Amino acid sequence: MHSRAPIFSYHHVLWADAAGYYSYLPATFEFGWKAEHFPDSADILTGQGFRLNSETNSIETKYTYGVALLQLPFYLTGRLIAKISGSNENGFGVIGHRMIMLAGVFYALAALYFLKRILKKMYGAFSASMAVLFLFSSTTLFYYGIDKAGFSHIYLFFLFTVLINMVDRLIYSPDFFRSLIFFAILLLCFLIRPTSVFAFPLIFLTGVKSKADLFELLHALRKNRKHYLLPACLATLVLIPQFTYWYFISGNIFWYSYGDEGFSNLNNPHLLELWFSPNNGLFVYTPIVAVLLIISLLKFNRGIDSISFLVVFLFISWMFASWHDWRFGCSFGSRSFTEYLVFLAFPLAGLLNHLKEGRYHKLLLFCCLMIGYIAFVNINTIYTYDDCFYGDTWDYENFFKIIRFY
């Protein structure tokens, strides 16, 4: 996918937001947080995801460091490769770009592995395998795991799957180390995108199928609450690097780095546009989401409480539609929903398992073929997509020129 475009272009992996997340790594390990040490115009060449402030000799990025932390092993590997090969690359060259591409693939595959583990326990191996395959190939997960691997979404999707795998033991058999890791990941998710907090109730409700299950969960949390206090307090250490950077830039440990950008449309959210506009509308680019939302209400969905998920979905839709730019810039589909797709894997696996166990073989085959075709259209469109929609809000004529049905 990246072979079609040179580095330092908006088609490549380190551009705009992605470069803003990534900038923490070369700034820390290569340039000592001094703007004068950076390659000339590095901020402009990478789409102005960060800013080299020549007046203060500092690097300014509005993004937090969580994504960079997850990219760190790949960045260090790239530095080692550059050193062994005798390259004088500084983190912004071909090796640096390729390592971020690999990071996206790694976290996408790791997320699918963890997601399959939890689905397999509930629905069996066949349904779990098919669900993760279809979810990845028929939604924006493919785009943000393969093409835009520097954005935050595939990393949050990975972290959500890890938390879902950990939550049962955390609740019913807590220990210090497990609790520390769990709460550290929770805080890291919040740090990467604060709206992630709305996914936290769903993570805890994984596997809740009845009121009895809910009461049992609440009882276990109350019973084991003493095991959570110290690990939760220690987990806040993951915030210290961010507070340090904010203090370095602004003189305050708490700093709203987005300036004038914010949720300026809370009283007038663009919900119809967010869901149905050909300019990054959720259901337009990922129609399977609408299908899975309906399926989640049916009785064979045993993974996530349906009403809770719909409430969260409507709330985050309102929040995203209230952002000053509900399109969220150049992207593919409503990208802010990407990490939340993890919760739609449960109704999808439940449907496949219901059809399999009920011996509705013809209907199962039909569903697999239909989802397979949606996946084909999705991937085929992604491979020809120019990374931006250039039409107006309701320009469906331009949309049908983009979509690849065959």
Q: Is-contact 348 131, C-beta < 8 A?
A: yes
Q: Show me where the domains of the chain are located.
A: 2-97, 98-402
pLDDT for 376 equals 97
Residue 312 has pLDDT above 90, yes or no: yes
pLDDT digits (tens, 9 = 90+) for 138-196: 999 999 999 999 999 999 999 999 999 999 999 999 999 999 999 999 999 999 999 99
Residues 194-211 pLDDT 10s: 999 999 999 998 877 778
Of residues 3 and 136, which shows the higher confidence score? 136
Using CA atoms, how far apart are residues 314 and 217, in angstroms rounded to an integer? Answer: 24
- Residue 36 has what pLDDT? 95
Amino acid at 90: N
- Hey, CA dihedral for 109, 110, 114, 115, is it positive or negative? negative
> Is pLDDT above 80 for 306?
no
**Contact predicate 27/49, CB 8 Å:** no
Q: Answer whether 4's CB lies under 8 Å from 41's CB.
A: no
Q: What is the mean pLDDT of the chain?
A: 94
Residue 40: Cβ-neighbour burial (10 angstroms; 0-12, 13-18, 19+): exposed
Residues 6 or more apart in contact with residue 379 via CB below 8 angstroms: 137, 142
> Could you tell me which residues come within 8 angstroms of residue 141 by beta carbon, excluding any fewer than 6 positions away?
108, 135, 154, 157, 338, 341
Please say if the pLDDT value at position 137 is more than 80.
yes
Distance CA 365, CA 198 (A): 35
Nearest to 325 by CA among 372, 374, 274: 274
Cα 314 from Cα 265, distance rounded (Å): 16
Identity of the amino acid at 324: H
Rounded percentage of the chain residues whose pLDDT exceeds 90: 87
pLDDT in tens, 217-248: 899 999 999 999 999 999 999 999 999 999 99
* Residue 297: pLDDT over 90: no
5 band by pLDDT with thresholds 50, 70 and 90: confident
- For 158-200, the DSSP string reads HHHHHHHHHHHHHHHS--HHHHHHHHHHHHHHHHH-GGGGGGH
pLDDT per residue as tens digits for the range 12-51? 999 999 999 999 999 999 999 999 999 999 999 999 999 9
Nearest residue to 147 via CA among 21, 4, 23: 4
